[in-house]
């Protein structure tokens, strides 16, 4: 598979993202039947399951030799990701938002080759934003080229984070401690959109300057939250990191997206004193 040609893969991913998006849009204002997963705040609905069925079914039919990871069909435990083309799917990122009809909800379809993100489609059908990137070809939203912001320091930055599913006293103290450190560093604003992929795509288009989330494999974003948006961000000129320092590991449960290495380093240093 050449790194410059994923035309067929992109065509299929776009079609399936739009199909799943229509399912989400149809259900968005309706009453939802909600079940819980790992904790009482980790939610799943019939829409998550239906969208995953549509997307994985379509991908398997189009690319039978590839591998697949989907949030709702993942068996739990760790991730064994090989070098073969591997599709990584979050049928609904922001399920809590979806349940509450808060409009930051998206479909994420990403493709790894040699364990690296090479293609990403993130589609929010509620506010109608379709983010697309292919490695080496730039990133777009609704067909228009997007770029990260020029923000150069925490004092001019709007940064988002998420509070995840950890409701232990220690976990909550760590998360609020991070926010406290950023505020004390005179950050311009802190946001929380409720969807990892929407946060990362918001950095990619320059309406946020950075985003960080997660603690470990148990409490933090998973590969399906990261892969599609990661290639969108890097193709828009941004950087993906581990907010505790070092490169992004999609199985670590920790993510940072920033407009530049400089801002990433400044935020990592600011957060670092908390541990
Ligand atoms: Mg998700
Ligand atoms: Mg999900």
Q: In Å, what is the CA distance from 61 to each residue of 16, 67, 68, 211? A: 12, 12, 12, 35
Give tens-digit pLDDT for 226-242: 999 999 999 999 999 99
The mean pLDDT value for 171-185 works out to 95
Rounded to the nearest whole angstrom, what is the distance from the C-alpha of residue 272 to the centroid of ligand 1? 25
At 130 the three-state DSSP class reads: strand
Rounded to the nearest whole angstrom, what is the distance from the C-alpha of residue 90 to the centroid of ligand 2? 5
Rounded to the nearest whole angstrom, what is the distance from the C-alpha of residue 22 to the centroid of ligand 2? 16
Query: Does the pLDDT at position 1 exceed 60?
Result: no
At 88 the three-state DSSP class reads: strand
Bigger pLDDT: 16 or 37?
16
Rounded to the nearest whole angstrom, what is the distance from the C-alpha of residue 154 to the centroid of ligand 2? 30
Query: Does the pLDDT at position 273 exceed 80?
Result: no
Query: Does the pLDDT at position 63 exceed 80?
Result: yes
Query: Does the pLDDT at position 119 exceed 50?
Result: yes
The mean pLDDT value for 238-248 works out to 95
Q: How confident is the model at residue 274 (pLDDT cuts 50, 70, 90)?
A: very low
For ligand 1, a single-atom ion, the residues with CB < 5 A are 90, 93, 225
Task: At 21, list the tokens.
Answer: 């998006």
- CA dist 70 and 228 (Å) reads 13
Rounded to the nearest whole angstrom, what is the distance from the C-alpha of residue 83 to the centroid of ligand 1? 23
pLDDT for the residue numbered 4: 54
| Nearest ligand to the CA atom of 194 | 1
| Nearest ligand to the CA atom of 44 | 2
pLDDT for the residue numbered 145: 98
- Global confidence as pTM: 0.96
Rounded to the nearest whole angstrom, what is the distance from the C-alpha of residue 184 to the centroid of ligand 2? 33
| Nearest ligand to the CA atom of 48 | 2
| Nearest ligand to the CA atom of 52 | 2
Q: Do residues 129 and 242 touch, judged by C-beta distance below 8 A? A: no
Query: Does the pLDDT at position 275 exceed 50?
Result: no
């Amino acid at each position: 598979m050449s790194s410059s040609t994923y035309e067929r893969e992109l065509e299929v991913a776009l079609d399936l993202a739009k199909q799943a998006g229509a399912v989400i849009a149809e259900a968005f204002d309706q009453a939802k039947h909600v079940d819980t997963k790992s904790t009482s705040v980790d939610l799943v609905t019939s829409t998550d399951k239906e969208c995953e069925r549509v997307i994985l079914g379509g991908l398997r039919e189009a690319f039978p030799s590839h591998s697949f990871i989907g949030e709702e069909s993942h068996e739990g435990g760790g991730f064994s990701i090989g070098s073969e083309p591997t599709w990584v799917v979050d049928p609904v990122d922001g399920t809590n938002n979806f349940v509450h009809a808060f409009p930051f909800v998206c479909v994420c379809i990403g493709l790894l080759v040699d364990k690296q993100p090479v293609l990403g489609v993130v589609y929010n059908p509620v506010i109608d934003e379709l983010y697309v990137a292919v490695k080496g070809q730039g990133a777009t939203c609704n067909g228009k080229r997007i770029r990260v912001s020029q923000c150069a320091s925490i004092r001019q930055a709007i940064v988002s984070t998420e509070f995840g599913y950890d409701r232990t006293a220690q976990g909550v103290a760590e998360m609020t401690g991070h926010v406290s450190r950023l505020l004390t560093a005179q950050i311009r604003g802190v946001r929380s959109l409720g969807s990892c992929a929407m946060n990362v795509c918001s950095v990619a288009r320059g309406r946020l300057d950075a985003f960080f989330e997660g603690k470990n494999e148990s409490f933090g974003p998973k590969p399906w939250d990261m892969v599609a948006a990661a290639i969108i961000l890097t193709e828009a000129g941004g950087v993906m990191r581990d907010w505790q320092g070092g490169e992004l590991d999609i199985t670590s449960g920790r993510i940072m997206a920033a407009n530049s290495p400089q801002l990433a380093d400044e935020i990592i240093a600011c957060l670092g004193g908390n541990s």
